[in-house]
Chain A
Amino acid sequence: MRWFWIDRFEKFIATQEAVAVKNVTLSDEPLDGYLPGLPHYPHTLIIEGMAQTGGILLSQIDEFRSKVVLAKVGKAEFQRPAYPGDQLRLTATLVNRQPDGGIVEGRVEVNGEHQADLNLTFAILDDSFGKESFFLPADFCRVLRSLRLFDVGIYPDGSPIAIPDHMLEAEREAIQALERAVLPS
């Protein structure tokens, strides 16, 4: 099972705000088994979706190099459940950023109706947790492309967010490695 709890970004303003949507469907594996007979989207996964939205907003600042982890859920208040067929709209606002972390305030709407308020604190791990990134840059780049971040992402001055060079380089290397593996020399 893939651990994606947002479907795509609709808005992404570097260092400020990201808006992602998640379409809830009965074919999402956790829905049917979470509370049999009343399939609804677990609130914990809404928190995870906001963590993905806010975490990517924070990690974009250094071109997705830093190791950002959700460290604390300061607030999670839910007004109503989300059911199969609903669309969640998750807005993450970066309200504070420090060298070792950041704070995101999140608001969730379901079909335009207020659904949840969240406050999440992220830690940025230093090299004592290992020098390697959590994700291979080529894989992470593919995920960000799938989430359409580079289609909608802009800087506060309105200029587009380009795919970072280190990710493009990693993609090129991955493609070359694949070609070497499958094409006759």
Chain B
Amino acid sequence: MPTTEEVFEKVKEALVDALGVEDDEVTPDATMVGDLGAESIDFLDIVFKLEKAFGINIPREELFPDDILTNSQYVDNGKVNAEGIAELKKRLPWADLSKFEQNPRVQDFGNLLTVKDLCSYVENKLNTQ
């Protein structure tokens, strides 16, 4: 099982390769969209590179819970409701949603994911394999 540092290094390598960013830009707290400039199509590439690097299968909905964010049961007036937050926490146990919970606008969700979150997801995945 790779260590936390090894996971970070491999995730960093995938992000540098997929996004054309510099090594030192990929810090644990960097957000994928805001800081590293990832666009939606980049995630296809990133997911593929992570699957290859770690030998894991990444179902899209585990990283991108679009089905929750577009479900009227979980969203009121553009904001995720309490039921939706509970569902997101269940789906993304590796993500830190504390900031998002303060003002859970659906449109902000895309910029939530950090490098640290991605590493936690991969580690979680490796542990449960």
Contact = CB atoms under 8 A, between A and B. Distances in A.
Interface of A: 71-72, 74, 95-96, 98-103, 121, 123
B78 to A, nearest CB: 18
A100 B47 CA distance: 13
A74 B18 contact: yes
B57 to A, nearest CB: 12
B48 A123 contact: no
A121 B51 CA distance: 16
B45 A72 contact: yes
Main SS of the interface on chain A? strand
B18 A101 contact: no
A98 B41 CA distance: 11
Interface residues of B, number: 10
Contacts of B17: 74
Contacts of B96: none
Among B17, B41, B44, the most chain A Cβ lie within 10 Å of the Cβ of B44
6 contacts: A72-B42, A95-B48, A98-B47, A103-B44, A103-B48, A121-B45
Nearest to B42: A72
B42 A98 contact: no
Interface string B44-79: 110110010000000010000000000000000000
B60 A101 contact: no
Given A72-B42, A102-B44, 17 more contacts: A71-B41, A72-B45, A74-B18, A74-B45, A96-B48, A96-B51, A98-B44, A98-B47, A98-B60, A101-B41, A101-B44, A103-B44, A103-B48, A121-B41, A121-B45, A123-B41, A123-B44
